[in-house]
Structure formats: C-alpha cells, structure tokens
A and B are shown apart, each in its own frame.
Chain A
Amino acid sequence: METGYLAFAMVMQFADAFAFLVLAACGLAIVFGMMGIVNLAHGEFIMCGAYVTVAAVHAGVPLPLAIAIGAIASALAGMVVEFACIRHLYGRPLDSIVLTWGISLVVTQTTLITLGSNMPSIGTPYGSFAVGPYSYSVYRLVLFGSALAVLAGLYIVFNWTRFGIAARATMQVPHMAAASGLDTRRIYSWTFAIGAGLAGLAGGLYAPTMTLVPTMGTSFMTEAFVTVVVGGADVILGTAPAAAILAIIKAGMTYWKGQLFGQIGLLIAVIVVIRILPKGISGFLTRQ
C-alpha cells in the first residue's frame, strides 16, 4: 500500500511538471516553429494573462471566465505587438530577438511602475483530495487536464482546420503558400496572436497558484525555452514529447534531491539534447 501512495505522489509530480512545461512552452513553440521568431517577450504575455485574470477575479468574474479573458487580452496584446513591431522584422531573426527582449524589459518595468511590486493574490480554488497519507490540491488536476486539452486543441487546429493547413503550408514553403493564394502576412499575425493567447492562458491558469510580480514571466520563460530547444520547431511532435521527457527528469530529480536539482536536471538535459539532436526531437522525427 505504502509504495502505491508513493507511486501516486510521483505521478502527480510528473503531471505537475508536464503541465507546467507544456503550458509555458506551447505559445513560444508555435511562434518559433511557424514564424522562426524567438519571442523573448513570451514571459510578459504570460504575465499579462495572469494580471488580467486576477484583476477580473477581483472584479467578481468567476475564475474560468477570468482565465479566458486573460488569454484573450494577451492575444489582443500579441496582435498589437505584431502589427506595430514584429511584422517589420520578418526574415530578420536576430533583430526580432533584440526587439522582443526590449519589449520584455519595457513591459516589466512599466508594470512595476504602474501596478507596484505585486498584486493581491486570489488563492487556489476547488479544495483538495487525499490519497493515503498525502493530500493534493484538485487544481493540480485542472492544470494537467488543461495541458492535455491545449495539446489536443492544437493538434485539431493544425491538422483539421483550413487555418491550420494554411499555417503549416506557410511555415514549410512560404513563397509557394503565397503563390497559392494565401495571405501569409495575415497568417503570421494570427499565429503570433495565438502564441500570445496561449501564453496568456498559461498565465491565467497559474495565476491562482502564485504571487503575481512584474518579473513572473522569467520563471516560465526558462522552462519554456528549455522545452522548445529540446522539442524543436513542431508543437505536437516536439513540445509534447519534450515536455514528457523533461517532466520525468525534473520530477525524478526533484523527488531525489529537491527543486534545485530538478532545475539542474533540465539544464543538463538541454545540453545533452543539443549535442545529439541539434534540431530537437521534432527535427529528428521529421528528418528526410
């Protein structure tokens, strides 16, 4: 019996890590995979989603709706940023890194100045349940379920919808997508908005579990970055398996030696993967 309880605790650790990696990374992965842009302001879109969600909850909006509002606000912010800045730098990946880094700094500092160093938190909802001697927050299951739902949703969008097929064509051979009648600029701006919206969703989902500070994006960004590097350019074939592998490493190391070693394990995994698979897991799976 004892080992059973322990095994369940391990599974929950894995589920936590997996959900966090998937939710933190998928927006970054889409923008990188579809547009070749490393969006260093990804963490700030997460923060935007979290802040809007918390503000909505304080205004009396129920949490699930508040999270949706957070995600949409972040997607709209993404559209504005794409329109004002990103679209002028397509095909200039290094410039877009500097640009998004700049956006990240400006947004963090502006938030600090206008909203102060933290927001009153809203607390984790839905209570808890016990398995043997251990007690778990129900919200952890919500997060894991959300991560699976996001992956399923992305799979459906990119394989079964007109937009998804057009977006993949644009990613694979942009000039032939255009010569086939696709407005690739519009596809890029929607893609960026979706990436920002997914970041906002991650922020909204985790908002009840943490203290909101203007620099909160950074803690998501590290793990998102690691996941995208390991996974490569494809969300389904890359981000999902990368998150699963990294979650095992992180949960195992955390269980064995604590949080810090969980982080160290992730970084070592990245270094090893870059050596063996320079294009990440999805680059390996889709090689020709």
Chain B
Amino acid sequence: MPDSVFTVTDLKSGYDDKPVLQGVDFEVRPGEILAITGRNGVGKSTLMKTLIGLIPVKEGTLHFRGEAVQHLPAHKRARLGIGYVPQGRDVFPRMTVSENLTVGAMAVRRPDPGDLQRIFEYFPILAEKLNQKAGVLSGGQQQQLAIARALVARPQLLLMDEPSEGIQPNVAQDIARIMLRLRQDMGLSIVLVEQNVDMICSVAERVYVMEKGRIVAKFEPEGRLEPDVLRGYLAI
C-alpha cells in the first residue's frame, strides 16, 4: 500500500475571470481524516470541486493511488473511487431516497446489494424514508443521504464539504461518529472541509488552514486535537 492515497501538488484553479487556488499542496494518508478549515471565501469549496473534477485544474497535479487524475473528467474520478459530498448537500430533490442511492451506485460496475444494507446500518433513517422524495427530507437527513449516495459507490477517498453546516448539533455529532466508523470499517480516507471546531476535533488528526487560496498553516499535534487549543490556534 502506498503511504499516500491522494497527493495534491502545486494546485491552481479558479473561475473564468477569477483565479482562486494559488498553489495548494497536501497529502492524504490511507485511513486518515484530514481537516481543512478557513474563513468563508478562502477557496475551500473551490478546492473540493477541483479535486473531484467539477472545476478544471489550471496548473499542478493530482495523484490518486499513484495515478495522475488531473485531466480526468469528474465521472471518471468518481468511478476510480473518489466520493464527493458537496456543501449544501445537493441531493436530487425530485427523486426518491432510493433513486438517489441508485444514482450513487452507478459509479460501480457491479453493485453489491449487500452494500445498501451496510449503509442502512450507518443511516437507519434512510431505510425508513426510501420512497420519499429527497427534497422533503430535513437538512440532517439530506446530509446523511448525500453521504450515503457517495458511499454506495465504495470510494477509497471521501471529499466532504462542510457537512455540519445548517444541521442540528446532535445530528452533526452523529455524522462525526459515523465518519470514525467508516474509517474503522472500510479504511476510508476523508478530506473534511469544516469550520466547526468541535466536529474537526472529534474526527481529525491534522488540520490545515487555508487563506486566500493557499494553505497557510498546518496544525499537526502529537496527541489528540483539543478544541480549545485549536480555537486558540485559529484565533491568531
């Protein structure tokens, strides 16, 4: 096994008239949860969209399990095993929960029916709402659906963009616990973009801080991440 699942080197990207990422470097190790934080507008979501392939890479390289993927379109990166849970969840609103999961599973050639059962162990609420339209679910339920939709494709790397945003604190805690279980059960690596310090500290080992399209600080303590320490660190 390589000691990096995902390697990002000197990544630059942005929008037509607006460069955003100014050269981002980092590495994700197998089974690691790496948190990336930073204020609104620093380019965290742009980074995630560039990693999954929704925004083209202008410069730099992306290696997923040793393979260069920066020129692949999003659907090919998804099929290789990169899952994406976007900010704002973006479930398919006028499709049922079950159909949303069917779409998620389309990235794998031969879906295993057992996969769905395993996912319902993490998210039992989805099993109860299979035939409801995703658009009528609560924010927390939509968040769970968005994660489940990515998981049915059996990814090795999960990109999660602010999963705690706009949902109740206890649901956010549930999601944090599920992330830890996913890593335990599947060896999943996760890049977690998050501004919620408690969530970061309950799952991540390392935290990178972004500012103006760059990673400006790396917080990699020896022991556990402590919320108060991280808060103090971010306040500087």
Seen from chain A, the residues whose Cβ lies within 8 Å of a Cβ on chain B are: 162, 165-166, 168-169, 172-173, 175-184, 286, 288
Contact = CB atoms under 8 A, between A and B. Distances in A.
Given A165-B103, A169-B92, A183-B75, 18 more contacts: A162-B102, A162-B106, A168-B92, A172-B92, A175-B90, A176-B90, A176-B92, A177-B103, A178-B74, A179-B75, A179-B78, A180-B104, A180-B153, A181-B75, A181-B153, A182-B75, A182-B106, A288-B93
B131 to A, nearest CB: 12
B149 A180 contact: yes
Contacts of B73: 178, 183
Contacts of B91: 173, 176
Interface string B60-84: 0000000000000111001100001
A169 B93 contact: no
A162 B104 CA distance: 12
A183 B75 CA distance: 6
A184 B93 contact: no
A50 to B, nearest CB: 35
B93 A175 contact: no
Interface string B103-121: 1101110000000000000
B86 A169 contact: no
Contacts, number: 76
Contacts of A179: 52-54, 74-75, 78, 84, 86
8 contacts: A165-B102, A168-B95, A180-B153, A181-B153, A182-B106, A183-B73, A288-B93, A288-B135
A177 B84 CA distance: 11
Nearest to B146: A176
A169 B95 contact: yes
Contacts of A181: 75, 78-79, 106-108, 153
Contacts of B99: 165, 168-169
B94 interface: yes
B51 to A, nearest CB: 10
A85 B78 CA distance: 28
A253 to B, nearest CB: 34
B74 A172 contact: no
Interface of B: 52-54, 73-75, 78-79, 84, 86, 90-95, 99-100, 102-104, 106-108, 135-136, 149-150, 153
Contacts of A169: 92, 95, 99-100, 103
Contacts of B100: 169
Contacts of B93: 172-173, 288
B106 A166 contact: yes
A180 B104 CA distance: 5
A184 B93 CA distance: 18
A180 B95 contact: no
Given A165-B95, A165-B99, A166-B106, A178 B75 contact: yes
Contacts of B52: 179
A184 B75 contact: yes
Contacts of A168: 92, 94-95, 99
Nearest to A179: B84
Contacts of A177: 92, 103
A131 B95 CA distance: 46
A286 B94 contact: yes
| Nearest 6 pairs of A and B residues by beta carbon | A181-B107, A181-B78, A178-B74, A179-B84, A169-B103, A172-B92
A184 B92 CA distance: 15
Contacts of A162: 102, 106
A77 B150 CA distance: 37
A38 B236 CA distance: 54
Contacts of A184: 75
A180 B107 contact: yes
Contacts of A173: 90-93
Contacts of A288: 93, 135-136
Instruction: Please indicate which of the listed interface residues B78, B86, B104, B106 has the most CB atoms of chain A within 10 Å of its own CB.
Output: B106
Contacts of B107: 180-181
Contact of A180 (B106, B135, B136): B106
Contacts of A175: 54, 74, 86, 90
A166 B100 CA distance: 10
A177 B93 CA distance: 12
B100 to A, nearest CB: 8
Contacts of B54: 175, 178-179
